[in-house]
Structure 1
């Protein structure tokens, strides 16, 4: 596994296992956890759930909280203290339209009673206000994508490249960029969900970040060594996932069968491009998704993701991955010449010819070892996430305490010197 690109080019320092969370909670005083918004239980909420496993007594805060009750149990039943946006019209369904108000909203959440604040941030959560004697650790899924390097893609996909609405959108994003960079100074330690995001943090904020990969529920994805003759792609059908691109590529390979799982705005485009060898199943339950993932010959992934949990889940099933060679996939898929370690391969561009070439190259390479795929996925367990996160938080809190002790000692020395000079001045 030492052949994965992230280990060669962007190594993450190894960490010894920390004591169990239950034995360490008392070290941190009162803890607050700040999340962006709670509306569905998806990737960032799975990270939040593991943070709350470490600090089950923490208070939870969010801009809005409309999480369904059946999902709330995964967050230990906690309800978040929310901002004024929670009470605005149509907030339940159109909360994203209040983005211009979110910097103000997050700053109104009162953190003054907490010793440790942990933000889980992909938009505004890291902008929470903290004082000089508080420790703020920000786990960053990404700096605000649509305000930084993906701004032009966002404007294009939203049809806001021109006109009055386009000009207003650009002004808002400009303001959010300034606010986002300024609030980076209020974070004591950044943690990125991949080396790719650590580089994005460096670009946006000028700060270094430790890397702790998100938790993946490996145990829910049982190993299967017997593969069937079909390829699989599964994701929300939003533009950046590029599902219609994959469908179009397989439409040009009638001898290759593709199964597509997922629903969303791009479903109609994917359906229009489909040919008889492509089966679109729409939304499927987790049980059905896992069943297809276990049996698939390979999992095809065309998105540029910050991390990308789906390719790891596929590998946990023993299924190799054919992925776009940018973003988090470079850190989760091993494209090695060694059959004992390789877990997939990459294509260079998000284009139909590149996907076709990658599939043909995959066919020519022969068998991939399902055990190697499973072993690689084991690098991303929830237990590993909790241990690594806890270690970094403990280090940051320890450093703050050491500095406080040093300041107190320096203050005592200075006070003693002043007293001594006062006494001798009367001699």
Structure 2
């Protein structure tokens, strides 16, 4: 792992970047999938929590900024938010044929040479800037601190919008995010759904248990409190796997039928997924990888009817929606779900649309096209045949093993 404010990398065919590797959620699994296909790609990031890294990041070529040396960076990383743009700029101008940047915050502030074909994979417009009131209420308890953050928002919005506009292509992970990118950045994005490890949880021939399941980080915007309130009121068993800053509040409001297991291994999660009545997905998510993973194991999903879930769950075939955020609406969806005789084969079939193979096919093709177009424009300026340049660039990214 390299850490230097003046790090000068050699020219690469493709480089990666991501906001930070501190909490391992859905966005980090997307980056891990890129490295699983080609472990030698350099990955630029602001800071790393080494004891929680996914296997793909362990031993990877991580280029880490000076923020790694800040006090309590792995536990208080959100408090340092004004520093992230400068941290990514401190890498200097990166020389590469192509760059793929994964961001929901400030990794998009990376700088690349004019000849670099740059692709931004946007998990979401930066939440605390563009959903300011909702995000700050759930993340910052102090009114004084919320007020201080709000004074910085206008300038950071301008920086965020400017950084986004500099990419050759912006990709959204869902139609819902595409709409928000258009509204916030005035950029028309393409859509490539994130890769889902369809083998993470396996379908098993075993009886269905007496519980519903939540798999989520416990943070305010995930709206886990809707599920806690609904199941506490119904007196039905709900098992919650995950940890986060909203945990104490959720435990305080939970009834005796709601269980919190915290962080568990994938093997343990697999056990809980295999026998659950359904996954409960109570918040509006940009995409939502957990619902697809659970469907790949043949189990249905009860989801709030907004955001990415509308693209991954089929009403009455692979799950049920509730459209009112009130706990009573979720309770009604639970009862409706329990009345349906689910067909695991159909549920598994739906999940296949979001395979890693499909993600990489679309992503590699897009990188190739952007690289070819960039090379052709350079060639036009010097009088070289553009058709031959496009053929060469597209061919060079025909396989993930050609990206190193």
Shorter-chain TM-score bucket reads 0.7 to 0.9
Measured against aligned partners, the alpha-carbon deviations of 1:191-233 in whole angstroms (never above 9, x if no partner) come to 1111111111111211111111111111121113542332222
Which segments of 5 or more consecutive residues in structure 1 lack a partner in the other structure?
1-27, 337-341, 412-427
1:72 Cα deviation from its structure 2 partner: 5.8
Picking from 201, 210, 218, the partner of 1:237 is 218
For 2:384 and 2:345, the matched residues in 1 are separated by 57
Q: Which residue of 2 aligns with 1:12?
A: none
The aligned runs of 1:128-143 (5 Å cut-off) are 128-143=110-125
Question: Which structure has the bigger radius of gyration?
Answer: 1
Q: Which residue of 2 aligns with 1:327?
A: 307
1:246 Cα deviation from its structure 2 partner: 0.9
The aligned runs of 1:44-193 (5 Å cut-off) are 44-68=27-51, 71=53, 73-75=55-57, 77-148=59-130, 150-159=131-140, 162-163=143-144, 165-193=145-173
Contact 1:155 1:161 in 2 (8 A): no
1:353 aligns with 2:328: yes
- Change in Cα spacing, 1:110 to 1:159, as seen in structure 2 (3 Å) is closer
Instruction: Look up the SS of the partner of 1:260 in the other structure.
Output: strand
For 1:45 and 1:131, the matched residues in 2 are separated by 25
Q: Which residue of 2 aligns with 1:375?
A: 349
Q: Provide TM-score, normalisation by structure 1.
A: 0.82
Q: Which residue of 1 aligns with 2:5?
A: none
Contact 1:129 1:186 in 2 (8 A): no
Which segments of 5 or more consecutive residues in structure 2 lack a partner in the other structure?
1-10, 386-404
Root mean square deviation of aligned Cα: 2.2
Picking from 8, 18, 23, the partner of 1:35 is 18
For 2:188 and 2:218, the matched residues in 1 are separated by 33
- Change in Cα spacing, 1:178 to 1:348, as seen in structure 2 (3 Å) is same
Q: Which residue of 1 aligns with 2:337?
A: 362
Contact 1:30 1:113 in 2 (8 A): no
For 1:124 and 1:118, the matched residues in 2 are separated by 14
For 1:93 and 1:306, the matched residues in 2 are separated by 24
1:140 Cα deviation from its structure 2 partner: 0.9
1:404 aligns with 2:378: yes
- Change in Cα spacing, 1:287 to 1:375, as seen in structure 2 (3 Å) is same
Contact 2:102 2:120 in 1 (8 A): yes
1:276 Cα deviation from its structure 2 partner: 3.7
Instruction: Look up the SS of the partner of 1:31 in the other structure.
Output: strand
Measured against aligned partners, the alpha-carbon deviations of 1:228-263 in whole angstroms (never above 9, x if no partner) come to 332222222211222232122112223x33222223
